[in-house]
């Protein structure tokens, strides 16, 4: 039997996951996860609110109640939609750092949430056809990770919504680990802070949460995919907004008078280098991505996101956006184009390299869970990107979600259980490796 099978097995019915001599109640985890994904928590960048949508409040209030019921301490729901709670330390060792576990409750803007979760028990490798839209099909030929999950219990949506595993799989794994530690005070660990936050998908995330209120020295987000994955490098990111003001006129006698802002918006986008688009880039290549056009013939707004692993590449993307806008302006002097940039987040590698413990301990925790860990750079960002830049080192860890931001999103129940077990091993490692003396 391979090492992973020795460390991770299921009793009949999938009730308990045994890893490293401890267990996670997987059926409780499954019930919670399905409860969470039924709530539509899609975020909205246009409301100006935090959280940006009422559905997020619904899930946040539910999580507040669940953490209180589990016996967590200092449970609160802040006015900006952060659920905070404490798992008290059980160690006698002095000086153990306070860790934070974090996951976001919102789902992506592209598709509705409010999933109808379907549990495919003991997945047999055949195509999964989603019933509410039979054109949405999951196969092992097109989704390599699905082949690795044969024999697992797979959860999908029904075909017309997101599942919401990004990031409710992370939420559920954290709740499962919290439940386990509170039921097993014999496991030595330091103080742990739990945080569930809104609006990660629209870049707002933890922006309005003071670090002193979180009260941790090291953080971990659970917002990544494949089992064993540790993300210690992300894109650096900026947002760009191009405001275009044309000249209004009645279309019946607009000749030589009208300057159509929408046409200029299209001309601006066409002027951007195609080779630097998401459709043409991979690996360490950055991109410029126009993701929204709004307006009328008189006024139009183009919103873009700029991504690159290196700050020099990000600066070059800014230059290219300005160059494209200047070319349109020069060709149409009757219009007015204004470009503004906004910093979103920076590559967490710049800070994590200074103190590698947060990453090294995560890799060791995954090994203790019976998996092979691997480090990964993500072509995106996490709440940990902002937290790390603000002074809280926060790598990103797997929770089993796949095919995110699509109707074909899925997660393995076993992977969520492994993620919960990884968290338990992680707090044990921080306790073991703290050089402080034992309290008498």
Which residues form the catalytic set? 106, 200
User: Cβ(352)–Cβ(409) under 8 Å?
Assistant: no
Spell out the SS3 assignment of 86-144: EECCCCCECCCCCEEEEEECCECCCCCCCCCCEEECCCCCCCEECCCCCCCEECCCCCH
Among candidate residues 397, 382, 399, the one with its CA nearest the CA of residue 205: 382
Q: For the chain, how big is the Rg over CA atoms in Å?
A: 24
Query: How many other CB atoms are found less than 10 A from the CB of residue 252?
Result: 6
d(Cα 421, Cα 364) in Å, to the nearest integer?
12
Torsion of the alpha carbons at 288, 291, 295 and 297, rounded to the nearest 10:
50
d(Cα 355, Cα 19) in Å, to the nearest integer?
29
Among candidate residues 438, 424, 434, the one with its CA nearest the CA of residue 173: 424
Look up residue 159 and give its DSSP letter: S
Please, where are the H alpha helices in 369-412?
383-389
Among candidate residues 331, 418, 412, 392, the one with its CA nearest the CA of residue 163: 412
Q: Is the peptide bond before 345 cis (omega within 30 degrees of 0)?
A: no
* Strand-by-strand arrangement of the 287-295 sheet: 287-295, 299-308, 236-245, 336-345
Looking up tokens 């660990």, which residue turns up? 189
């Amino acid at each position: 039997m391979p090492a992973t099978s020795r460390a991770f097995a299921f009793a009949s019915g999938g009730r308990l996951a045994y890893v490293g001599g401890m267990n996670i109640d997987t059926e409780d985890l499954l019930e919670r996860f399905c409860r969470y994904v039924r709530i539509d928590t899609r975020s909205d960048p246009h409301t100006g609110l935090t959280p940006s949508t009422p559905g997020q409040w619904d899930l946040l209030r539910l999580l507040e109640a669940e953490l209180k019921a589990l016996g967590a301490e200092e449970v609160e729901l802040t006015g900006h939609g952060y659920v905070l709670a404490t798992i008290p330390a059980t160690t006698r060792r002095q000086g153990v750092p306070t860790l934070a576990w974090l996951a976001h409750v919102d789902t992506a803007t592209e598709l509705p949430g409010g999933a109808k979760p379907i549990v495919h028990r003991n997945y047999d490798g055949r195509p999964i056809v989603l019933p509410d839209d039979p054109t949405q099909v999951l196969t092992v030929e097109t989704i390599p990770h699905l082949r690795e999950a044969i024999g697992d219990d797979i959860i999908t949506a029904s075909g017309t919504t997101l599942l919401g595993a990004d990031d409710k799989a992370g939420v559920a794994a954290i709740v499962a680990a919290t439940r386990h530690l509170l039921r097993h005070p014999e496991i030595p660990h330091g103080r742990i802070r739990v945080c569930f936050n809104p609006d990660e998908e629209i870049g707002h995330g933890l922006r309005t949460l003071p670090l002193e209120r979180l009260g941790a020295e090291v953080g971990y987000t659970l917002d990544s995919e494949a089992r064993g994955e540790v993300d210690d490098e992300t894109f650096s990111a900026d947002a760009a907004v191009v405001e275009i003001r044309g000249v209004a006129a009645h279309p019946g006698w607009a000749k030589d008078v009208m300057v159509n802002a929408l046409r200029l918006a299209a001309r601006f986008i066409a002027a951007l280098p195609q080779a630097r688009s998401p459709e043409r880039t991979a690996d360490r290549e950055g991109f410029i991505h126009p993701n929204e056009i709004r307006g009328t013939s008189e006024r139009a707004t183009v919103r873009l996101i700029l991504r690159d692993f290196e700050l020099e590449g990000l600066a070059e993307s800014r230059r290219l956006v300005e160059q494209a806008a200047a070319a349109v302006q020069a060709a149409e002097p009757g219009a007015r184009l204004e470009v503004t940039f906004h910093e979103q987040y920076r590559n967490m590698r710049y800070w994590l390299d200074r103190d590698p413990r947060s990453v090294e301990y995560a890799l060791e925790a995954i090994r203790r869970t019976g998996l092979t860990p691997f480090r990964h750079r993500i072509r995106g960002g996490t709440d940990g990107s902002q937290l790390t830049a603000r002074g809280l080192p926060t790598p990103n860890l797997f929770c089993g979600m796949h095919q995110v931001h699509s109707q074909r999103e899925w997660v393995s129940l076993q992977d969520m259980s492994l993620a919960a077990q990884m968290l338990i091993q992680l707090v044990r490692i921080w306790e073991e490796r703290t050089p402080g003396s034992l309290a008498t």
